[in-house]
Structure 1
């Protein structure tokens, strides 16, 4: 009973905070599932993907009502993330890469990027200029990398894509729906992939359905609330929030890797 309430509350609170900047919250839910809810590894990965699948429609429905829809950026991301998540699931089941190296590499990317976004947002004249789109091929490559990481660790990939794309000046109103749509559809494919792998391999790689669904139910409500809040938050505040989340995640991963 208590674990169920904690799962719902964690999904609700995390999704409410992270959805406005296009992050599903799975990346912050992962340590909660491991340390508080005691979901074993590698089952924690498909459980986190299940959270994304259940939680995603809440935010996407709200964004759709406010005009946030799939566009060219979403399609480019999906071209990369869908095959990427299948590759990541295979790597997770058969290669089992160590989390320490992963955490240090992600921290090395996110910490300077997060600090830079915060400093840029904190300046009085920090209003972003016109977007400087990345080449289509580079967006696809980033999608493959984010999808693979999502498949291995169940974090969705939005926590990586969001800061990188925001750094190119893409408005949050465009960025958040695109990244969350990519995270949702990629998680559907990834969860299905783990389901198939569970049938043909040994080991505990099936999700914890109860906790995944409860976390997802909280995320469904929190995602809707977060998407509702986004239009009422200034662009500068959203960029500061995204930078702060990226830096906080990097510090968390450094601490976990060194302890």
Structure 2
């Protein structure tokens, strides 16, 4: 197998359930990847500041796809972004009100290239939980006026976390036929929907990186994911892996399934196998 780039989702995939990872094993695997010229890409629905925080030691040597493909960095260099407009936000808020979904929203986050923004009324508990995924968050008096309040921000994604009294089927049945064609909704887990420009997907961001890194064959790319927002990148290469802990319909869309789940270093174990390396005992334990 020729491998030129490895792309992994974060929560539920590379990270375990407490949002951490095996740093010793990653350090070893990452050194091997760099020695072989393999690009390692983190692809997440969460923000670049969060990814940079979690991988601070390696930040200058990683590629980051954040906000489900809306924003792409190579190291600390912004490569690409796909913006939303004030009309997009106002249309979405109108649709939520029209479908009575506003009564079932636990958290709403509007994100841009530089930071993320929430309503000032958000509780401290929810605010601290959101910082796990967004890191750089600002409370604002009104999200309706966020474009005017931060005129220099480039807004890119809206995250809506619904209460668990609604199923994903309920949410999609209400929203699917009401969103304008230029917007795309993808589930990222935790009963949260990420809504952005229809072109802002992980798969499209990977294709942009293919051009930059001169990777013509998508089968030279390995991808890992566990959720709906990973389906595009799982379908783009025969070397795709759904996590063992993923739902069955996600596994059906991938060409392979990891032997281990996200809590047992499933991604790193698979990478070591791909690199044809045995895990050193002092790291594997």
Query: Whose helix proportion is higher, 1 or 2?
Result: 1
Q: TM-score, normalised by structure 2?
A: 0.25
Larger RCO: 1 or 2 (CA < 8 Å, sep 6+): 1
Query: Whose strand proportion is higher, 1 or 2?
Result: 2
Q: TM-score, normalised by structure 1?
A: 0.27
- Higher gyration radius (CA): 2
